Amino acid sequence: MSALLTVAHGIPALLAEGKDNPSADFSDTPLWITVIKALFIFVYLLVSTLIVIWFERRVIGRMQQRPGPNRNGPFGLLQSLADGMKSMLKEDVRPKAADALVFTIAPLITATMCFIAFAIMPMGGEVNLFGHRTPLQLTDTPVAVLLVLAIAGVGIYGIVLAGWSSGSTYPLLGGLRASAQMISYEIAMGLSLVAVFLYSGSMSTSQIIGAQKNLWFIVPAFFSFFVYVITMTGETNRLPFDLAEGEGEIVGGYFTEYSGMRFAMFFLGEYINMFTVAALATTMFLGGPLAPPGIAAINDGMFNEGWWGLLWFTIKLWLFMFMFVWLRGSLPRVRYDQFMKFGWKFLIPATLVWVVLVAFFRGAQNGWLGEGGVNFFGRTFPVASLALVGVVAVGALIVGWWWDSRAAAKEAAAADAPQSSIDPFAGGHPVPPLPGQTLAEPTRTAAAIRSEAVTDKEAIRG
């Protein structure tokens, strides 16, 4: 199956050209337009945050068959605004044992870092803004995607420092949990993005979008998408991975001691982080501001141009938001050790193998593993790719067979194992068998007791 997926014809062989610089053209963008764009991003994110809080509560309400917020404004739309105002006016409490400086800095780090990563997200095509042609993107660099990861790395400081500076145990545990979780999941996240870099030949977002003109990377890099979506949930501390603020265990996690505006900053940061990771997923796998396949073909790509991009970008972003809410509405929290085990023992090695595979496919596409192709449905597939798919498929079959036979052997062993038998009436009262135990053949006396017991019960009932 993956042969179909990996042969992406439209991907330009950027590697061969050795060009990794951004393709977005900022030559006609004076400083004041950049400032306007920055302001726009700021407002876009703030408004989106206000809406998404309302959206989340309403959707979860729906899922749980209750109305959700519906008092402030039409459909309760102004609820988040009211909550925000309340936070601002609330008394700001700082524990006596807190480290004053760090306690103040921590929420600021979280709230400022979350905005920065959005600077490199392409939100639309080139538009005419006050007489200048400029891309709907604040900036782009050859290492734009790495920049997002780096900013996320700095953002963790906010959480860790909040946990430490509160001078209290639960926040410390929450902070440590959060940072351990984010660092471990950032590894798998970075690895999953490597496949995209391999396909696009660049780490600049505008180049990545350009490389997806014909085929979104969700198809050739499907496994990366799968891993990315899991890690992005872990990275943003959202259910089912919100262990850093597991109420049942450690109260509120790192922000237990925070209140008022400082707490609101964490809240804001968390939601904007959701938008950031979703925007990155959109850019990396769903073609960012590109129109969906059918629509893109209309009128010679009319819907791919200019301001239309913003619409597609926003729609894709909100699809991810809905997914976040859906997950929260349907899944329970996982256990911490299982979560870590999953990250380190499955996601990271599996993604590593995947990246190596993708590298081979790219090599086959570039003809490094031998020339020659096979035609299917008008597309040419390199022989090497097909051979690789064959090898992978056979490997998967063998592993699957081995796994199955091992599981079967285990089951058989478990079935054969001499099960310890218990006498259910050893203590005078009937005791049900535990897993792995069987009931001993009842002795005569036991039977007598049982019949007695039954009659007793029935007597009571009767």
Partner 1 sequence: MSNAPGTGEAVLFWILGPLAVLGSLGLIFAKKAVHAALGMALTMIILGIFYIAQDAHFLGVIQVFVYTGAVMMLFLFVLMLVGVDSSDGLLETLKGQRLATAVLVLGLGGLLTAALGSVTYPEPAGVKSINEETGNVSAMAELIFGRYVWVFEVTSALLITAALGAMVLAHRERLGKGRNQRDWSKRRVLRGEYVAGLPAPGVYARHNAVDTPALLPDGTPTPLSVSRVLTARDQVTTPERYVEAEDRIAGQIEEDSSR
Contact residues for partner 1, defined by CB under 8 A: 18-21, 97, 99, 101-102, 141-143, 146-147, 149-154, 156-157, 160-161, 163-164, 167, 169, 172, 175-176, 179-180, 183, 186, 202-203
Tell me which residue of 409, 450, 418 sits closest to 437, measured CA to CA: 418
Complex with partner 1: residue 107 or 175, whichever CB lies closer: 175
Complex with partner 1: residue 15 or 129, whichever CB lies closer: 15
Complex with partner 1: residue 223 or 339, whichever CB lies closer: 339
Nearest distance in Å: CB 245, partner 1: 18
Nearest distance in Å: CB 220, partner 1: 21
Nearest distance in Å: CB 257, partner 1: 14
Nearest distance in Å: CB 21, partner 1: 5
Tell me which residue of 127, 157, 98 sits closest to 24, measured CA to CA: 127
β-pair type (126-129, 420-422)? unpaired
C-alpha dihedral over 302, 322, 86, 246, to 10 degrees?
-140
Complex with partner 1: residue 8 or 117, whichever CB lies closer: 117
Nearest distance in Å: CB 355, partner 1: 16
Complex with partner 1: residue 348 or 386, whichever CB lies closer: 348
Nearest distance in Å: CB 398, partner 1: 29
Nearest distance in Å: CB 149, partner 1: 6
Nearest distance in Å: CB 201, partner 1: 9
Tell me which residue of 333, 330, 318 sits closest to 55, measured CA to CA: 318
Complex with partner 1: residue 32 or 326, whichever CB lies closer: 32
Contact 120, 139 (CB under 8 A): yes
Complex with partner 1: residue 18 or 427, whichever CB lies closer: 18
Nearest distance in Å: CB 184, partner 1: 11
Taking residue 80's Cβ as centre, other Cβ atoms within 10 Å add up to: 23
Complex with partner 1: residue 169 or 421, whichever CB lies closer: 169
Rounded to the nearest angstrom, the gap between the alpha carbon of residue 15 and the centroid of all alpha carbons in its chain is: 29
Complex with partner 1: residue 16 or 39, whichever CB lies closer: 16
